[in-house]
Amino acid sequence: MNHLRCFLLFATLWAVGQTAQLSRLPNDPEALVRSLYQQVVARHPTGLPRGADMKILSPYLSQQLLHRMDLADDCARDWVRQDQNAC
């Protein structure tokens, strides 16, 4: 059941939030959404963003969402660790 929760958390993490880093982003809501959309289309992220994708997308995400994404990443790593030990 824990594995299912981790998977569901991955699937629901793509929500846009607010962050203190918004000063680098457009103030106009339409321009903000357009900017995020352009970044997502250009990168085609799947799952949790990592590396350069995370650096580009993180200003669009809330601190709470970023924290949950870190927890989901930790959960996934733990799942892989436990799954490899079961073989």
pLDDT in tens, 69-79: 999 999 999 99
Q: Whose CA is closest to 36, among 63, 62, 11, 56?
A: 56
Answer with the residue of higher pLDDT: 86 or 17: 86
Compute the mean pLDDT over every residue in the chain, rounded to the nearest whole number. Answer: 78
CA distances from 37 to 32, 40, 50, 56 (A): 9, 5, 17, 12
**pLDDT given for residue 47 in this prediction:** 86
**pLDDT given for residue 41 in this prediction:** 92
**pLDDT given for residue 66 in this prediction:** 95
In this structure, the dihedral spanned by the alpha carbons of residues 23, 25, 28 and 29, taken in order and rounded to 10 degrees, is -110
Structure tokens at 59: 């200003």
Cα distance between residue 36 and residue 52, in whole Å = 15
**pLDDT given for residue 13 in this prediction:** 47
What sign for the dihedral angle of Cα 22, 23, 26, 30? Answer: positive
16-54 pLDDT, tens digit each: 344 344 457 888 889 989 999 999 999 988 888 989 999
